[in-house]
Amino acid sequence: METLFVLSMMIACISWTVAKTKVFHSFREFFNRPITQRIHYFLSCPYCLAHYFSIIPAIYVSFQSIFVLYFLPIWVSGIVAALIMVWMAAFQMSIMAILWRVAKF
């Protein structure tokens, strides 16, 4: 279970960094044209990015040792684990948003 927490923390940090910080501002603004407006929205939403960034650890890490539902196939338990990571990452991003507002004042 702590592995899911660490992976969700990684997902939250990466998606928050890509979506909200100035480091990737020029990358996000490159897609802020009428043709690629949907890509810009995708890159500016940390919750949306967390779903796609959770696929990478779900494929890379074997979830048999982390989160196994014995009555479901392995790929279904991998999807459930990826959704749990997104849920935990969303909770961590909400805490980061509160801390971000507090730090700006």
User: What length is written for the chain?
Assistant: 105
CA-based radius of gyration for the chain: 16
Burial 20-37 (b: 16+ CB within 10 A, else e): beeeeeeebeebeeeeee
Q: What's the structural domain count of the chain?
A: 1
Range of the domain at 93: 2-104
pLDDT in tens, the chain (105 residues): 677 788 888 899 999 888 888 898 888 888 888 888 888 888 888 888 888 888 878 776 655 555 555 666 777 777 777 888 889 999 998 998 898 888 876
pLDDT of residue 62: 58
pLDDT of residue 91: 92
Nearest to 15 by CA among 24, 4, 6, 5: 24
Q: Is the pTM of this model over 0.85?
A: no
pLDDT of residue 29: 84
